Structure 1
C-alpha cells in the first residue's frame, strides 16, 4: 500500500472526530476566548475545519512563511453557522485527499519542505513529516483545544478517541 493511501485513511479517521467537535461549536460566539492570550473560538474552529487543506501547501509549495513581511496572505473564509464550518471541513478534506491522490510517495519522502517565520527558517523536513506533524497532528491538537472551549462555553463534548463524560446524558 502506498503511503499516500495510508495518509488518506488517516485523514478520513481524524475527520470523524473533527466533524463531531465542529457539530457542537456554539453559534454567535466567534469572538469568545477563555483568556486574553487565547485565540477566539471562531478562529480555532476555522483552523480545525480547514487544516486538511493545508496538504496542498505542503505538497505543492517548497516553503511557507507564516509571518511574511506585510502580513499573512491567507484570510480564512468567515462562518456564521455550524453548517458553514462542516462545509469548510468537507471541502478541505476533499482538497487534501485529492492532492495526496495526485502526488507520489517519492515526492513525500525525498523532497524537503520548509516553514519560515519572518523569513527565518523554523523547520525543514520531508513533505511526509510535514503532513504528519503540521497537518494531521496539528489538527488533532487544535481539535483538543476546541473541545476545552466547548466545555467552557457549556456545550457538550463529543467522544473523539474514547468515551466522553457527556455521552449518554441529556
Structure 2
C-alpha cells in the first residue's frame, strides 16, 4: 500500500523539482553563498543526480558508489543538468515501480569501496530519507540560492512570496 502512495508522491514531487530546476538561469550557475557551499550549478546537478541513486538503492542490496559511474556533464550548463535530470527520473521511476512491499524490509547498505557509507538499514527507511527527503532538503537550499540572486521562485505548493502570497 505504501508504494502506491510513494509512486504518487514521486510524480508530484518530480514535477516540483522540474519546475525548480527549470527556473535556474544560466547566468547564475556560478553563484556560491559561501566559500564552503556548492555553486548553484553544482547544487542543481546534485539534485538531478539523486534521482540516479534510486536505481542502486532500490535494486541492489549493497550499492557501491565507487564502482558506479554516471556521466554528469558540466554543472555550468543548465541544459545539460536538465537533460541529466530527465534521464535519471526515467531510471528512478522504473526502479521505484519494480519495488515490492516486501523489499522495503530488506537490509540495504551503501559502500564506497570497502567503506560503509550508509546502513545497513531497511530499504524503506533509506528510500524515504536518502532519496525522497534528500531531494527536498536540497530543493530548499536551491530556493534560498534563487532568492539570494534575485530570481523568481516557482510555486511548488501554491503561490510564493513573489506571486503576492507573502
TM category (shorter chain) comes to: 0.7 to 0.9
Deviations 1:31-76 (A, max 9, x none): 321100111111110122232231101022223456x5xx985553
1:103 corresponds in structure 2 to 99
Answer yes or no: is the 8 Å Cα contact 1:49–1:89 preserved in 2. yes
Answer yes or no: is the 8 Å Cα contact 1:52–1:136 preserved in 2. no
Note if 1:134 corresponds to 2:130. Answer: yes
Match of 1:147 among 143, 146, 149: 143
- Structure 1: which 5+ runs fail to align? none
2:41 corresponds in structure 1 to 42
- Please provide the CA RMSD for this pair: 2.6
Answer yes or no: is the 8 Å Cα contact 2:24–2:146 preserved in 1. yes
Answer yes or no: is the 8 Å Cα contact 2:45–2:81 preserved in 1. yes
2:80 corresponds in structure 1 to 84
1:113 corresponds in structure 2 to 108
More helix by share: 2
- Structure 2: which 5+ runs fail to align? none
Task: Name the SS for the 1:166 alignment partner.
Answer: helix
Task: Name the SS for the 2:163 alignment partner.
Answer: coil
* Alignment map for 1:16-31 (pairs within 5 Å): 16-31=15-30
